[in-house]
Amino acid sequence: MKSELTEVLPQLRRFAYSLTGSMDEADDLLQSTVERALNRTVPEGVELTKWLFRVCRNLWIDGYRAQKVRQEATLQPQLQEREIVDGERAMASEVELEQVSRAMDQLPDDQRLVLSLVAVQGLSYKEAAATLEIPPGTVMSRLARARTALIESLNLPAARTSS
C-alpha cells in the first residue's frame, strides 16, 4: 500500500491544488488525505487511487463547508464574542462620573438646574430659560458660574477662550 501511495502522491497533490487553488492549502489537504489513508483501511474491492481521490474531495468539501459556516457566523452578531470590556477604563469612567456627580451636588440649586438642563439634557439656552421661566441671559450667567465651579471642584485646567 505504501508504494502505491507514494506513486499516487503527485497526482493527488495536483488534484488537491485544483480544489483549493493554493499550494499551502493543497499541501494541508494532501497531508490530511494521507493521514486518513494510513489510519483507515481501504474498503475491499476499491481501487486505492480512486479511494484516495474520493477521500481528498470529501475532506475538501468538509473544510469548505466549515469555512462557510464560520464566515456566516461572523455576520451574525448573536454568534460573535461579546465586546471585550476594558476594566480599568470602565472603572476610571465610573470614578470620574462619581466625582462629577459629587461636584454637581455642591453647586447651588439654580446653577445645578441650569447645568443639568443645558449640559445633561441638551436643551438650548432659550429652552432652558422657558423651562425655568427666567431670562436667557440669566441662564448663560448661571451656566458660566456652574462650569467654573465644576472646573475648580474637579481640579481641571480652565478652558482657554480665544478672543
pLDDT, tens digit (0-9, with 9 covering 90-100), for 73-111: 777 666 555 555 667 777 877 888 888 888 888 888 889
Looking at the chain, the domain(s) classified CATH 1.10.10.10 span 87-153
Indicate whether this model's pTM tops 0.85.
no
Q: Compute the distance between CA of residue 125 and CA of residue 141 in angstroms, rounded to an integer.
A: 11
- The pLDDT score that the predictor gives to residue 26 is 93
- The pLDDT score that the predictor gives to residue 83 is 56
Residue ranges of the chain with per-residue pLDDT less than 50: 161-163
Mean pLDDT of the chain: 84
* CA 18 to each of CA 46, 65, 100, 106: distance values in angstroms, whole numbers, following the listed order: 23, 17, 65, 74
* 13 in Cβ contact with 30 (< 8 Å): yes
* 22 in Cβ contact with 13 (< 8 Å): no
DSSP secondary structure string, 89-116?
Answer: HHHHHHHHHHHHHHHHHHS-HHHHHHHI
Q: Compute the distance between CA of residue 6 and CA of residue 110 in angstroms, rounded to an integer.
A: 89
pLDDT, tens digit (0-9, with 9 covering 90-100), for 69-78: 877 777 766 6
- The pLDDT score that the predictor gives to residue 27 is 95
87-153 topology per CATH: Arc Repressor Mutant, subunit A (1.10.10)
Q: Name the DSSP letter for residue 6.
A: H
The top-level CATH class assigned to 2-79 is mainly alpha
- The pLDDT score that the predictor gives to residue 78 is 61
**φ/ψ (deg, to 5) at 40:** -125, 160
